[in-house]
Amino acid sequence: MTAKVSSDGLMEEIVGLCKRRGFIFPSSEIYGGYNGFYDYGPLGVELRNNIKQAWWRDMVQRRDDIEGLDSTIIMHPDIWKASGHVDGFSDPMVDCRESKLRYRADQLFFAPVIVAGETIGYVSVVECPQQQEIAEKAAADIKRKAAKQGTLEPIVLKDYTESKPEEYDLVPSPATGKPGSLTAPREFKLMFETKVGPLADDSAVAYLRPETAQGIFANYKNIVDTGRVKIPFGIAQIGKAFRNEITPRNFIFRSREFEQMEIEYFIAPSADWKALHREWIDTCIDWLVSIGLPRASITEDIHPEDKLAFYSQATTDLMFQFPHGEQELWGVACRGDYDLKQHQEHSGKSMTIFDEASKEKYVPHVIEPSLGVDRTLLAVLTAAYTIDEVPNDKGKVEERTLLKFSPKIAPVKAAIFPLLKNKPELVERAQALYQKLQRRWNVFYDASGAIGRRYRRQDEIGTPFGITIDFDTIEKDGTVTLRDRDTCEQRRVTEDQLIQFLEEQIDG
Ligand code: GAP
């Protein structure tokens, strides 16, 4: 039997497991933590590296049309002026003057409470899957307290960016439940500033990059000039990005320091960008499925044309069913020639390319698949987290928690166990196999405790294969027991069969 935990408790359980087993810790925990920052422990760093390596292998190394890049986090501040980030990269925020809490205006929802055609108050709620329910309950309370007779009209929630000045004093703060303390929405800059060099004045201001994409545009000319690329081609980069998010939340879903895996895919202005956009969306979905996300939990959110930035031709977000609801995982945007033209204008350097095939010179257009490493890791954990029931050593059915990671990205690929730790011949053989496998993969050796308990410990951290050395191994045919994490099925294999199997499952 396999059971998924309810979505309410799922995030809590994932956070607990991540802490308990050394995947993810709150940053600076001994000082009480630091909101919006997380550290990756021994298993977390393996999982994270495996996700990045899988992406790099599939998107860069296994393709002839994509080159890699690693640009600096701090770049010339003019890059962020040209890209529009200095003036435009902000979120609308609203402060509660009484509680001192700060909300993102587009995540704060409100509605008038209208009874028999008369507005008798307002309700407000912070964005969540149950927001409509919460707002309706609050509206019914207001009606009851006001002892107002008549029909309560349906509650139509709008986000606070749509509020009118005359409503600012009427909408209650979600923190206090009372109206009068919320400010008007104000733009809040998301880029972290720092100073570079010995001067402390404004000329020294620089920024921690809020996306890796601009490092790609800034190096586009270098890569074109090295002469290895021809249209269409992409440049890929994995690296840290920083955003002073107003409301970092939902564990590593929205943090202030995170990592991105981005591609800028340059195409001819005359190319069929809609078809290429579709191709990229499909490539991205296939990749997510290849690392173990169920196809059914990925959907597409096509941005409506009237909500697109002026330079954008189309954007589709790949959404994933996270524990806190369906949310953006991967953005695939068609950005036209906006970025390169901006850098051409601000730097004075030509961004044109000569297209050998068409004999034309132009500034290419771009398709941008942009994915967060940390969000992918949370999606992978969400999909993998499972509770089922299996018999223990004595045949009694017990509940177990397991992470059903794909072998490709599992932090530990296999665990090697001597059946008994006090039998030197078993230990020696198990150690030899462990050392052999360790040269290729991250594997684990465990000799302590009952074999069933050793399996459970590995199940909980998502190790796909358990390999046990027993008396048949040394006394009979040299075969070992290979146990599958998900089915618990065991079969005997020779060492050669084992290695071939692991190669197919892990590297295939
Ligand atoms: N260059 C385009 C760009 O940066 P974005 O939608 O702002 O677009 C792309 O970010 C991806 O980066 C998102 O789909 C998400 O996976 C990840 N991401 C963005 N902000 C994040 C945050 N605060 N914490 C974790 N991941 C984030």
CA-proximal residue: ligand 1, atom 19 (nearest):
372
Do 145 and 178 contact (CB within 8 A), yes or no? Answer: no
pLDDT tens by residue, 201-226: 888 999 999 999 999 999 999 999 99
- Global pTM? 0.92
Cα dihedral 103, 107, 108, 112 in deg (nearest 10): 170
- Give the residue ranges of DSSP H helices in 190-233: 213-225
CA-proximal residue: ligand 1, atom 4 (nearest):
211
- Confidence at 6, pLDDT banded by 50, 70, 90: low
pLDDT tens by residue, 115-173: 999 999 999 999 988 899 999 999 999 999 999 999 999 999 999 999 999 999 999 99
CA geometry: angle at 327 spanning 324 and 331, to 5°? Answer: 155
Interval 382-405 mean pLDDT: 93
- Confidence at 21, pLDDT banded by 50, 70, 90: very high
CA-proximal residue: ligand 1, atom 9 (nearest):
370
CA-proximal residue: ligand 1, atom 2 (nearest):
370
Residues with CB under 6 A from ligand 1: 211, 213, 243, 245, 254-255, 258, 260, 262, 328-331, 368, 370-372, 374-375
CA-proximal residue: ligand 1, atom 6 (nearest):
331
CA-proximal residue: ligand 1, atom 18 (nearest):
372
pLDDT tens by residue, 83-120: 999 999 999 999 999 999 999 999 999 999 999 999 99
Interval 343-372 mean pLDDT: 97
Helix (H) or strand (E) holding 88: helix 85-88
> Average pLDDT over the chain, rounded to whole?
95
- Please tell me what DSSP assigns to residue 285: H
Residue 8 scores a pLDDT above 70: no
Handedness of CA 406, 409, 412, 416 (dihedral sign): positive
Res 1: pLDDT? 39
Ligand 1 atom nearest the C-alpha of 211 is: 4
Ligand 1 center to 212 CA (angstroms): 10
- Confidence at 3, pLDDT banded by 50, 70, 90: very low
Q: What is the DSSP string of 158-182?
A: EEGGG--GGGTTTSBPTTTS-BT-B
| Residue 12 CB neighbour total at 10 angstroms | 12
- Confidence at 63, pLDDT banded by 50, 70, 90: very high
Ligand 1 center to 85 CA (angstroms): 14
pLDDT tens by residue, 221-253: 999 999 779 999 999 999 999 999 998 989 999
Cα 141 to its chain centre, rounded Å, is 38
pLDDT tens by residue, 300-341: 999 999 889 888 999 999 999 999 999 999 999 999 999 999
Ligand 1 center to 210 CA (angstroms): 9
Pocket test for ligand 1, best of 370, 374, 377 (most atoms within 8 A of CB): 370
Closest-CA residue to 457 (of 49, 43, 51, 45):
43
Pocket test for ligand 1, best of 284, 375, 378 (most atoms within 8 A of CB): 375
Res 382: pLDDT? 98
Res 463: pLDDT? 98
Interval 284-289 mean pLDDT: 98
Ligand 1 center to 370 CA (angstroms): 7
CA-proximal residue: ligand 1, atom 10 (nearest):
370
Residue 2 scores a pLDDT above 50: no
Tokens (6 digits) for 151: 């029909």
Cα 188 to its chain centre, rounded Å, is 23
Do 272 and 232 contact (CB within 8 A), yes or no? Answer: no
Res 508: pLDDT? 81
What percent of the chain has pLDDT above 90?
93
Interval 17-30 mean pLDDT: 97
Ligand 1 center to 302 CA (angstroms): 16
CA-proximal residue: ligand 1, atom 14 (nearest):
330
β 414-418/443-445 pair status: parallel
Res 200: pLDDT? 83
Do 485 and 463 contact (CB within 8 A), yes or no? Answer: yes
pLDDT tens by residue, 466-505: 999 999 999 998 999 999 999 999 999 999 999 999 999 9
Chain position carrying tokens 């800059």: 189
